[in-house]
Structure 1
Amino acid sequence: MENIRTIIADDHQLFITGLRSILGDSDQYEFDVVALAHDGDELMEKLKLYIPDFLILDLNMPGKDGLDVLKLVRKENRDLKILTLTMYDDSKIVKSAFKTGTDGYVLKNEGKEGLLRGIHEVLEGKTHLGEGVRLNEELVTNSGVTIERFISPYEDRFIKKYNLTKREIEILRLITQALSNKEIAKELFISDQTVSVHRKNIMRKLGVSNTAGLIKLAYDNSLV
C-alpha cells in the first residue's frame, strides 16, 4: 500500500487517538503520522519540518482562527491534500473552508466508514463533502421561473460557459441543497431516472466525477 506522510492538527488527545486507530483500518493507504499539532503556530512549524502528503485539520484550535490557519497552510503548500475534520457545520464556515483551500470537509460525528471514504477521496484528488455538511443554510427550492427571472451575471456566464440548460441549472441548485435524486424528482414532478440522467449530463459537462465536485464548482461560480 502507498505510504502517506500525515499530520493531524487537533487539540484533543482522545480524539487524535481514535483518529489514528481509524487511519490504521484503511485498506488502501498506509498512514505514517509523522507529527501532531495542537495549535496553528505549531502546525506551521511541523509542516515545514516534516513536509507531509496529507493534513487532517480541525478548525477549532487554540490561537489563530482555524480558517486563517487553513489559508496560511494552503499558501505555503499548494499540493498538500487537506481534509477539514471539525464540529462546525455552519454553512458559511463550510463555504469559507472550500474557498480557502480545503479538499474535503467532514464533521466529527461522521462514522468510521464515512470518514475513511472522505480521506480516500481527498487522497485521490477528489473534493469530498461529508454526511450532513451543507453549503446552504436551509433547504430552499427554486422553480424554473425563479431561476429565469432572477438569474445573476455569474449564473449567466456559468450557463454559457458550460452550455447548461435551464433544467440542468435548476437540478444543479437542488443538488447543492443536498437533495437526493428522489427528493429532486418529487420537487420537480419528474421521475428519479430523469433526474439521474440530468445529473450525469451535468457532471459530464462540468468535468467532475462526484456530487461534492458539483457542489464545489457551483459555489466557486457563485451559484449558491
Structure 2
Amino acid sequence: MITGASGGLGAALASHYAAPGRSLLLWGRDHDRLERVAAACRAAGATVVVRRLDLSDIAAAVAAVEADDAAAAIGVALLVAGAGDVRAPGDIVEDAAQIAHLGLVNFVAPSSMAAALARRMVQRRTGTIVLVGSAAAFHALPFAAGYAGSKAGLLRFADALRLSVIDRGVRVTVVSPGFIDTAAGRKSPGPRPFLLQPADAAARIARAAERGRAHSIFPWPFAVLRWIDRLLPAMARDRLLRALTPPQD
C-alpha cells in the first residue's frame, strides 16, 4: 500500500515496487495522475488497485484503510502522503488554517492510519509500516513551523508505535529525508542542498523498510545537522535558525 501515489515520491515508490506477481494498492488525490501511475505499474506486471481519497477526512481515511486491509491483508504500508508549506510572504506567523491543515495531513492522518493498520497486523503477527517524515522535524524552522512541527510529531509517534508492536511481529520504520526534487519540495525557500531525485529517495526508503530500520535519515549530512542542532548552545542555535529564515517581505 502506498499513499500519496499521485505525488512525486509516491509515484517513484510505486514504480520501484511494481513487478510481476506483486499487488499494489495505490492511494492518491489527483485522479488523472493516479491513473497514469497505475497504468505504468500494470505495464511493469503488477496488479494494481487504486483509491482516490483526501486524507484530511480522517474518519474516511481510517475506515478506508481498514476496509482495504480486510479485503486483502496489507503486508507493507508506506504512508507517504503529506503536505509541505511555508508562511506567506510578509507574514510573521503562519495562517491558523494552514497550521491545522498541515497537522491533519502530516500527523493526524498517517498516525491514525498507522495505528489502525498496526492493530490488524498485530493480530496476524506480521506486517511493515513505513511513515515518511522529514529532516525538517529536527529543527525549529520559523518560516515553516507547521510543517516542521507536524513532522516532529509524526517522528515521535512512529517511535512510540514501533516500541508498542516490536514484540508482535510488526515492524515500524520512519524515514526522514532531506530535499527531494518533487513539486512539493520545490516550494521550499532558498537553496536545497544534497537534492535527491525521487527514484533515489524511493530506493533508500524501500531499503530501510526491508532492513527493518527504526529510523533512516538521508542523505547523511542531515543526520549531522540533527546532532549540530542538539549540541549547539541555545542562543547559538536560535541565532542560526533566525539567520536562515527568509525575509518577511
TM score, norm. by length of structure 2: 0.40
- Relative contact order (alpha carbons < 8 A, sep ≥ 6): 1 or 2 greater? 2
TM score, norm. by length of structure 1: 0.43
Which has more radius of gyration?
A: 1
